[in-house]
């Protein structure tokens, strides 16, 4: 199993109040790690500004599925050693917001491919 950041019920990263360290857990659900990675906008974390998916690039590529998949695949490949592929399954638009649903394939500890459902919500507020 790989290690991942622990999150609370609202999806916020947990920081140990005594040490100030990020809390790590064994990642038994790759979809949780994927959703955290996809849901974090590049530059959002002041202590790690290079972490995160560039949501502006996602918005720009909503009508170009091959480019959108390539953008997401490049990012996930940089974050996960066991990443194999990502496929856009659906894009739901609701005004200035879009939700991108994905099937993401990873290699598990035994070398077998496993596919998880993941996604991210992006909005164009302040970009138009």
Domain residue extents for the chain: 2-123
Question: What is the predicted pLDDT for the residue at 90?
Answer: 95
- Residue 54 phi/psi, 5° resolution? -75, 100
| CATH number given to 2-123 | 3.10.450
pTM: 0.74
35-92 pLDDT, tens digit each:
889 999 998 889 888 899 999 999 999 999 999 999 999 999 999 999 999 999 999 9
b (16+ CB within 10 A) / e for 76-88: beeebeebebbeb
Question: What is the predicted pLDDT for the residue at 33?
Answer: 85
């Amino acid at each position: 199993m790989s290690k991942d950041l622990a999150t609370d019920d609202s999806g916020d990263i947990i920081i140990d109040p005594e040490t100030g360290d990020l809390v790590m857990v064994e990642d038994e659900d790759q979809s949780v790690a994927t959703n955290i990675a996809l849901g974090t906008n590049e530059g959002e974390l002041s202590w790690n500004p290079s972490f995160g998916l560039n949501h502006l690039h996602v918005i720009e590529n909503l009508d170009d599925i091959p480019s959108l998949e390539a953008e997401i695949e490049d990012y996930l490949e940089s974050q996960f050693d066991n990443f194999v592929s990502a496929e856009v399954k659906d894009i739901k638009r609701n005004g200035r917001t879009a939700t991108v649903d994905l099937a993401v394939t990873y290699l598990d500890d035994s070398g077998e491919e496993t596919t998880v459902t993941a996604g991210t919500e992006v909005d164009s507020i302040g970009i138009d």
